[in-house]
Amino acid sequence: MLSELTKYLGRPKLYTPSSAPFWDDEQISKRMLAAHLDPEWEAASRSHAFIDKSVEWISSILPAKDNPRLLDLGCGPGLYAERFCRKGYQVTGVDLSPRSINYARASAAKQGLEIIYVNQDYLDLSVDDPFDIAVLIYRDYGALSDTNRARILAHAYQALKPNGHLILDVFTPLQYQGKGEARTWEFKQEGFWRPEPYLCLESFHRYDDSNTFLTRYIVITDTGVDCYNIWDHTFEVDDLRRELNRAGFADVDIYGDAAGAEYQANSTIICAVAKKMTRASNEPEP
């Protein structure tokens, strides 16, 4: 056990993956679903009041009558998807968590909402019929490695119609300003990570040269050690524009959050609304 634990006590290389599944773990997915459904707790999702504002804003700038098909990437239990559907969009939601997708399907059926839900990793996304809008909200984009960010942008590009729009939000480096590297530990009889007793060693690491930050959770039980690396790549406005431009998106409008707040120099969040560029027939896809 000790030799297994010591593998995770050093500083990991940038974007080292977790050692165990996260989204489809039985206990973690149960706790994540509870966090999604708590209307005030901004852990897995924004507060439900903010989600209401976000959907109102998006539907005002890209109304369903002109942009009927909407793709919700990382849809979770359907909090955004249901609200978009009520605004008149034809919604498809994609999420890796079977528990969240099962909840979303049951909730939509109960309310008579015609929403398509797909249990799939959006990094492996392929669609037959293109969309007018794709959303990747609550900073999922920053949790991805450089390679996987390029991958999801390529998939989003392919999934959108010409002149379709991608909406995503990320943190700026100011979110972590003044936060020092640290380690703490906590013992639980039962909790977020496991239904049985466990010890959790939590650490925070800064990778300032790349504007990337890591919160690491090492979970120790009687039967083993698992390590969960939660990465967050943060962006300056120009950096985010460049990534979107390289992937084939232009006319990038910048906001201070996913409800249309004005972006300020001291904002900790950037929301980008980017349009898919049309390409000449002989120009390669991103």
| Statement to judge: residues 120 and 109 lie in one domain | yes
Contacting residues for 143 by C-beta, under 8 A, at least 6 apart:
230, 231, 232, 233
Strand partners, 183: 203
pLDDT digits (tens, 9 = 90+) for 15-41: 999 999 998 889 999 999 999 999 988
| Statement to judge: residues 227 and 193 lie in one domain | yes
pLDDT digits (tens, 9 = 90+) for 112-130: 999 999 999 999 998 889 9
Domain count across the chain: 2
pTM, rounded to two decimals: 0.93
**Domain-located, residue 282:** no
| Statement to judge: residues 157 and 192 lie in one domain | no
| Statement to judge: residues 262 and 165 lie in one domain | yes
| Statement to judge: residues 156 and 244 lie in one domain | yes
pLDDT digits (tens, 9 = 90+) for 194-239: 999 999 999 999 999 999 999 999 999 999 999 999 999 999 999 9
Buried b (16+ CB within 10 A) or exposed e, 2-33: eeeeeebeeebeebeeebeebbebeebbebbb
Q: CA 165, CA 175: separation in Å to the nearest integer? A: 26
**Domain-located, residue 30:** no
**Domain-located, residue 32:** no
**Domain-located, residue 283:** no
**Domain-located, residue 286:** no
Note whether 153 and 92 are within 8 A (CB).
no
| Statement to judge: residues 119 and 136 lie in one domain | yes
Q: How far is CA 181 from CA 4, 15, 207, 267, in A?
A: 23, 17, 10, 22
Note whether 186 and 200 are within 8 A (CB).
yes
| Statement to judge: residues 157 and 101 lie in one domain | yes
| Statement to judge: residues 243 and 193 lie in one domain | no
CATH label of the domain that carries residue 49: 3.40.50.150
Which residue range is the domain that position 17 belongs to? 2-21+175-233
pLDDT digits (tens, 9 = 90+) for 187-203: 999 999 999 999 999 99
**Domain-located, residue 94:** yes
| Statement to judge: residues 163 and 79 lie in one domain | yes
Per-residue pLDDT, 272? 98
The secondary structure of the chain in percent helix, strand, coil, rounded to multiples of 5, reads: 30, 30, 40
| Statement to judge: residues 201 and 81 lie in one domain | no
Backbone angles phi, psi at 195, to 5 degrees: -80, -5
| Statement to judge: residues 168 and 180 lie in one domain | no
| Statement to judge: residues 250 and 153 lie in one domain | yes
**Domain-located, residue 285:** no
Per-residue pLDDT, 280? 47
**Domain-located, residue 284:** no
